[in-house]
Amino acid sequence: MSLKYERLCSLLISEHFGSTVQKIHSELQWGPRTLSLLISATGLPAGIVKKGLCVMIQYGFVTFSPGKVPSVAEYSLQHDQVILILRYPRYLTLIKDTYGEPSRLLLCEVMKHGCLTASKAIQLVWNQIKEGQNKGTSLEDLRSAFHDLIINQYLMCCPTVSETCTDKVPVLTVEETDLYNPPELPLKELKRFVEDESATDPGDGKVYWRPNFDRFHQDLRDKVMINAVKRRFDDHAGTLMEVLLNLMYLRTAPWVTRSNPVPVQEIKESVERKLKNTYLAQYLDQYIKVIEEDSSNFIRKHGDGNFSSVHVNIVTAVQYLTVASIENLVEYRFGSKAARIFRLVCMKKYIDQEQLQKLAMIPDKEAKQLTYKLIHENFLHLKEVRKTGGAGPAKNFYLFHIDFHQVVHMVLEICYKAVYNTLTRAAHERNENIRLIEKQEKLNSIAECMREQGTDDQQIKELVDEWMSPPEKAQLESIETMIENLRLAELHVDDTIFLMQLYNYYETACVKEAREAKASEKAKSRN
């Protein structure tokens, strides 16, 4: 884990959980630690360290397991879970767009608490509804919304202490069949629980639920692919890609490198019956052919006529999108000519300086300057090739190439630094204008109380104008606009982070598959 990644994770923990938890997090960044080591390293009282660890375990940031001494637990930090805090607003927006506001409120409560029982989440959301938010929602609607989140695997069951565990360090387990098995909540008992604070839970008090981030990432990945096809072709092509992905999941695991074939006849039936898109159904073969023959290689078709099928090249699609994203970054930082050089090296795999200058159609001096910049910034790399029968440096020549593993790692580092800078700048603006912000919050609370008492809006406006001068209002608007722009920039940078992480995941998966195939071939040859 890099230093920039560590600093960003530490800042996120500090911003959302405070300095105490941040101290524990900083110590766990160095590796697994026991409770006694954490207490001595942080200098905090034992009770506070235990509470901080409980909070981090509840949110999935820390796990524990028996250490070198089996009776003593060691706590390990899960860095990948911490960075997902950046993506929480995106998850909530995804659920709201797909399932509606009640589902978003339920998921928001689960994320806010780390993990929560179904009845408690419904109770908290019901209290918000009674206070005036989304009044058209009933208790039965909330129960069915929570049920749908579990059935569609956006929420998963938390592991519990094994009943057979006799060690001092508990072992957390969960049956695979119980991961997405929704609890039975009788409506009468649920109603009694949410209306009476002293009432006992309706039978699910020991079953906690937490977000299943892999499911959210699956939807985000599909959304990226669908939007890419829409931008490259048209909306009908994007609809076809969406249908293909939905049918793919009926016969293929979500995170494989390549889908199983989907019959074209099944695609046509889905377009005609479910979507009732007659235009796409009429020109389905043409759309499949156009997308297949495109350089992006999102799909591949096998066979002809009624027996033809299509499979989705997920790895190829992610690689194409990653290369396009890096090309945009090169063009933004170094200009269109540098992007042309980068694109040319990407197409040719290996190319020498002379050939590069001719094909790029850039003057020699300028081409050398741009290639030097790209090499200096690690976007291009040099490979030394030795001529056969020769010795010494004069007999060698050099080829430009791109090590995408290293480039993706570098782009991730740039993104981590950018997000850290946006968070730091937003915190600086708030701290510099804290008195003005507190004054506005106080005025807003006074105005809200006056509004509840039936005061006229004109009188409230006069009071606010009397307490807040025009320069202060202008300064507040400027601060709010700046912070909002910084938050939007943070979300845009996270798009790039997500795409680069997808590339790393599939690169690792492809290497693993190649090793397994090689091992199986060796086993067959031995037999």
Which residues have C-beta within 8 Å of that of residue 7, sequence separation ≥ 6? 416, 420
Rg (CA), the chain: 28
Phi and psi (nearest 5°) for 158? -80, 145
Q: Please report which confidence band the pLDDT of residue 241 belongs to, taking 50, 70 and 90 as the band edges.
A: very high
**What's the pLDDT at 330?**
93
CB atoms within 10 A of CB 386: 12
Q: Please report which confidence band the pLDDT of residue 394 belongs to, taking 50, 70 and 90 as the band edges.
A: low
For 209, the 3-state DSSP assignment is strand
Rounded to 10°, the helix 3-17/404-432 angle is 30
Q: Provide the CATH topology of domain 215-312.
A: Arc Repressor Mutant, subunit A (1.10.10)
Winning range, highest mean pLDDT, from 122-131, 337-346, 442-451: 337-346
CA 444/CA 451 separation, integer angstroms:
10
Report residue 214 as tokens.
Answer: 């892999």
| Rounded alpha-carbon distances, angstroms, from residue 159 to 117, 152, 169, 420, 481 | 13, 19, 15, 33, 43
**What's the pLDDT at 390?**
55
CA 425/CA 418 separation, integer angstroms:
11
Answer CATH for 317-402 from 3.65.10.10, 1.10.10.10, 3.40.50.150, 1.10.1520.10: 1.10.10.10
Which residues have C-beta within 8 Å of that of residue 26, sequence separation ≥ 6? 10
Span of 134-138, 216-220, 287-291, 504-508 with lowest mean pLDDT: 134-138
**What's the pLDDT at 391?**
56
CA 41/CA 117 separation, integer angstroms:
34
Span of 88-92, 172-176, 316-320, 414-418 with lowest mean pLDDT: 172-176
Average pLDDT over residues 151-176: 75
Phi and psi (nearest 5°) for 263? -60, 140
90: part of which helix (H) or strand (E)?
helix 88-99
CB atoms within 10 A of CB 470: 8
Q: In one letter, which amino acid is 189?
A: E
Instruction: Give the residue carrying structure tokens 């593993």.
Output: 405
| For residue 414, pLDDT beyond 90 | yes
**What's the pLDDT at 87?**
92
Report residue 274 as tokens.
Answer: 């479910």
Q: Provide the CATH topology of domain 3-79.
A: Arc Repressor Mutant, subunit A (1.10.10)
Q: Which segments of 205-258 are extended strands (E)?
A: 209-211
**What's the pLDDT at 460?**
74
**What's the pLDDT at 502?**
93
User: pLDDT higher for 216 or 274?
Assistant: 216
| For residue 92, pLDDT beyond 90 | yes
Q: In one letter, which amino acid is 358?
A: K
**What's the pLDDT at 2?**
81
| For residue 436, pLDDT beyond 60 | yes
**What's the pLDDT at 305?**
73
Closest CA to 513 of 253, 241, 286: 253
**What's the pLDDT at 64?**
87
Percentage of the chain beyond pLDDT 70 is 96
Which residues have C-beta within 8 Å of that of residue 255, sequence separation ≥ 6? 214, 218, 505, 509
Span of 199-203, 266-270, 272-276 with lowest mean pLDDT: 199-203
Q: What is the mean pLDDT of the chain?
A: 87
Q: Please report which confidence band the pLDDT of residue 324 belongs to, taking 50, 70 and 90 as the band edges.
A: very high
Rounded to 10°, the helix 213-232/88-99 angle is 70
User: CATH 1.10.10.10 occupies which residues in the chain?
Assistant: 3-79, 215-312, 317-402
CA 318/CA 249 separation, integer angstroms:
18
| Rounded alpha-carbon distances, angstroms, from residue 296 to 257, 317, 499 | 16, 7, 16
CB atoms within 10 A of CB 280: 20
| For residue 263, pLDDT beyond 70 | yes
Point out which residues pair with 74 in neighbouring strands.
34, 65
CA 9/CA 14 separation, integer angstroms:
9
> Residues 500-513: pLDDT tens digits?
999 999 998 888 88
**What's the pLDDT at 163?**
57
> Residues 1-42: pLDDT tens digits?
688 899 999 999 999 998 999 999 999 988 888 889 999 998
Q: Please report which confidence band the pLDDT of residue 138 belongs to, taking 50, 70 and 90 as the band edges.
A: confident
Point out which residues pair with 309 in neighbouring strands.
263, 302
Instruction: Give the residue carrying structure tokens 């293929």.
Output: 252
Positive or negative CA dihedral for 358, 359, 363, 366?
A: negative
**What's the pLDDT at 206?**
82
| For residue 190, pLDDT beyond 80 | yes
CA 117/CA 206 separation, integer angstroms:
7
| For residue 464, pLDDT beyond 80 | no
CA 307/CA 111 separation, integer angstroms:
46
**What's the pLDDT at 210?**
93
CB 425 within 8 A of CB 486: yes
> Sheet containing 33-34: which strands, arranged edge to edge?
33-34, 73-77, 62-66
Report residue 254 as tokens.
Answer: 């979500």
Span of 35-49, 131-145, 147-161 with lowest mean pLDDT: 131-145
> Residues 43-60: pLDDT tens digits?
999 999 999 999 999 999
Span of 84-93, 105-114, 460-469 with lowest mean pLDDT: 460-469
57: part of which helix (H) or strand (E)?
helix 46-58
